Amino acid sequence: MKKITSLKKGIMILKRLSEKPYEMSAIELSNDLGINRSTVHRILNHLIEENLIEQNIENKKYRLGYITHKIGKGYVESREYLEID
């Protein structure tokens, strides 16, 4: 079986948080994605440092951070630019 890299696992977490219910605990992410819980925590901490995800203070669950909006906006704007030319 092919080893899944940390980058791939981080992408899996981001993609999962882009789907309903949009907020999940580390345990829920671990169970849902089949990634070791300590690995999920480590990746979540890196993603938080880069503002790609954030933790909801009220329920302690994780959700996409504001940088993901910036990335999405950049994608949309670049597509609009390409279509105008």
Q: What is the pLDDT of residues 3-60, one digit of tens each?
A: 789 999 999 999 999 999 999 999 999 999 999 999 999 999 999 999 999 999 999 9
User: How many of the other CB atoms lie within 10 Å of CB of 42?
Assistant: 14
19 burial (CB, 10 Å; 0-12 / 13-18 / 19+) is exposed
Beta bridge partners of 54: 63
The model's pTM is: 0.88
Beta bridge partners of 24: 62
CB–CB of 65/48 below 8 Å?
yes
Instruction: Report how far residue 57's alpha carbon sits from residue 75's, in angstroms, rounded to the nearest whole number.
Output: 29
